[in-house]
Structure 1
Amino acid sequence: MHHFSLILVFLGLSCSNAIEDPEFFEIVVDRDHPEKVYEAFEQFKIRYQRKYKDAEENQKRMQNFIKSYNTVGRLNLKSNESGYTSTFGINKFSDLSSKEFQQRLSNIAPSQKFRSAMKKASPFLKRHKRQVDELPDSVDLRYEKVNGRYIVGSIVKDQGSCACCWGFAVTAVAEAVYAANIGPFTYLSEQELCDCATPGSLGCTGGDLVWGTEYIMGRGLAASSTYKWDEHRANKSGMCISEENKRVLKEDKFDYYFADRYNAEEEIMAMLVQWKSPVAASKSFFHLPGKEKREIENN
């Protein structure tokens, strides 16, 4: 039986370690063009269909927006001065406080049990220097094909208010590995992981990459077309209906490895080239605009 590997990058972070700015901040407005930030806020409300209940909430949200607006400006300036191509911008989270944003994310850090699993080392740890030198500078799986078929999906998924980032990350990796090694690309069910893969906790309160990976290894996974996503469903217990849905991804098809976070660049590139598989890792896109966010999520 063939086994295929999922690579997890352990950064020592839970999904909630995103933004830890103070709630009180200086509102900086361009004195020469003070109207710009207010126009940007009005455009934000139109684009994301924001309707606040009263003037007090509008003022609160505008202050949060200005904080995000200022942060985006600083990040873009720093990126430009450093010679990077990274672009930051306003997105749908820009009127949230840092506390509100973190409440949407996982508050579960990897336990000691899963830290011991780090001993399951990546097979790329002992690569020869010649092999490392032969790696390309970049790989974009969005344009990679196996047997004439693309192996990465084009739909950008959204977990909404449910802190199931861990399930979305694992599912995305499993989709690509499945498409590269087993069959045509199929969107798999994040909802099944969120409902069924946690050890007694609610999936929307957060989770761990290992939970989702080991669930797939033991139970397989249904397609998202049959076990559909509902951002509110996993706020309740006892919602798992895996037995009612056909296994698209069969159990016992995968193993997993942890990349060394201090040498992750070489390991990830080697894995992208050799296995055509992305990596599951915890990151925040608090200040990434839609275009940049899509590019990262699709990689």
Structure 2
Amino acid sequence: MVTNNQMHYFSFTFVLCLGLWAFQATSRNLQDDSMHERHEQWMGQYGKVYKNAKEREKRFGIFKENVNYIEVSNSVGNKSYKLGINEFADLTNHEFVASRNKFNAYLDGSSTKTTTFKYHNVSAVPSTVDWRLEGAVTPVKDQGQCGCCWAFSAVASTEGIHKLSTGNLVSLSEQELVDCDTSGEDQGCEGGLMDDAFKFIIQNNGLNTEAEYPYQGVDGTCNTNEEGNHVATISGYEDVPANDELALQKAVANQPISVAIDASGSDFQFYSSGVFTGSCGTELDHGVAVVGYGVSEDEIEYWLVKNSWGIKWGEEGYIRMQRGVDALEGLCGIAMQASYPTA
């Protein structure tokens, strides 16, 4: 038999649970309202427009998950880097990687590797290097949704050696590589290799400028007239000895270097600032350029890496990646397949 006291207890518990449920529901609604408002502001900031309400709601859900991930990550107090809500915040990590990271590492057989390394006997290197300060680095570019990071990486190091050998910094054409370098493994927006890009530049007797052969961000037909205009030439290329950060440092001390990295993680997608020390693998999928190195204020050695995702990503288009890690291949495999053009 239920007593009056028990009835009062059950009633009180029911009212308490109902109130708690209502509070939680209200809290969730307020959070969703706040997140919707943030999504609206973000859409305005980056000029995002969706084709219909269904797509908008789908992208909002992804945006919400990504924002929560970023905020949780940034709440960890001892990390040397921060994440940010950038223009890629409404993309899943799979979508992001699939559209941009297409360095075709699986095509790069050891039989194609060069055996010479002209910086082998370099005995001393500066403690810090920044080729931007020497005028050997063009402004950060944006590859968009074309998976031709390999072309941007190869062009960046070619621009660097052209400046160092001639005294002139010229922005060169990635689109020429996308359109015209298709006889080998390089396949435009579907991926390629920096070494094969160097081979094309050598065989073609050079590259045209960005101004004369501008970037379109899609696979196109080779403009043979513009392809025949050679503004910058290289005489050859060399591979940095694999899995050797000291060898990579010797090379970077002398010129900007093309490297491949594993940039597949969400932390890379949303990197905002600081020295990146995040977890990543060695399944190389993205081509970038190392244009310097140094030591941060909190004494972390880093590589200064120029990316091709626009100036709103990272530190105005750059990322500082931890240098001198225990793994021989370097953080994210940065020392596995580095190469550079010679002039």
TM-score (norm 2): 0.63
CA distance in 2, matches of 1:50, 1:93: 11
Larger radius of gyration: 2
Cross-structure match for 1:217: 202
Alignment of structure 1 residues 180-259 onto 2, 5 Å: 180-199=164-183, 202-219=187-204, 220-232=206-218, 234=219, 236=220, 239-244=221-226, 245-250=228-233, 252-259=234-241
Change (3 A) 1:298 1:221: farther
1:281 counterpart SS class = strand
Alignment of structure 1 residues 51-200 onto 2, 5 Å: 51-78=49-76, 80-82=77-79, 84=80, 86-107=81-102, 109-111=104-106, 114-118=109-113, 120=115, 122-124=117-119, 131=123, 134-144=124-134, 150-153=135-138, 155-199=139-183
Deviation readout 1:57-98 (Å, 9 max, x if unpaired)? 2221011112221232344345x414x2x2321221110123
2:269 counterpart SS class = coil
CA distance in 1, matches of 2:182, 2:262: 20
Q: Which has the higher strand share?
A: 2
C-alpha displacement of 1:168: 0.7
Cross-structure match for 1:11: none
C-alpha displacement of 1:226: 0.7
Deviation readout 1:19-53 (Å, 9 max, x if unpaired)? xxxxxxxxxxx97x836543332221111111223
CA distance in 2, matches of 1:298, 1:81: 17
Unaligned runs of 5+ in 2: 1-26, 273-311, 322-343
Aligned equivalent of 2:39, options 32, 38, 41: 41
Q: Which amino acid aligns with 1:141?
A: W
C-alpha displacement of 1:287: 1.1
C-alpha displacement of 1:119: 5.2
CA distance in 1, matches of 2:50, 2:67: 19
Change (3 A) 1:255 1:202: closer
C-alpha displacement of 1:191: 0.4
Cross-structure match for 1:292: 314
Change (3 A) 1:212 1:298: farther
CA distance in 1, matches of 2:240, 2:212: 31
Aligned equivalent of 1:270, options 244, 250, 256: 250
CA distance in 2, matches of 1:208, 1:217: 15
Cross-structure match for 1:281: 260
Q: Which amino acid aligns with 1:215?
A: F
C-alpha displacement of 1:188: 0.4
Q: Which amino acid aligns with 1:211?
A: D
Q: Which amino acid aligns with 2:190?
A: T
**Bigger relative CO (Cα 8 Å, ≥ 6 apart):** 1
1:226 counterpart SS class = coil
C-alpha displacement of 1:192: 0.6
CA distance in 1, matches of 2:83, 2:140: 18
Bigger drift between 239-248 and 165-174 goes to 239-248
How many correspondences in the alignment?
A: 248
CA distance in 2, matches of 1:123, 1:77: 45
Deviation readout 1:102-155 (Å, 9 max, x if unpaired)? 33135463345633233535444566xxx3xx54443222112xxxxx1111x2
2:247 counterpart SS class = helix
1:87 counterpart SS class = strand
Change (3 A) 1:59 1:231: same
C-alpha displacement of 1:164: 0.8
Q: Which amino acid aligns with 1:294?
A: E
2:37 counterpart SS class = helix
Q: Is the Cα–Cα contact under 8 Å of residues 181 and 187 in structure 2 kept in the other structure?
A: no
Q: Which amino acid aligns with 1:248?
A: V
Identity fraction in percent: 26
C-alpha displacement of 1:194: 0.6
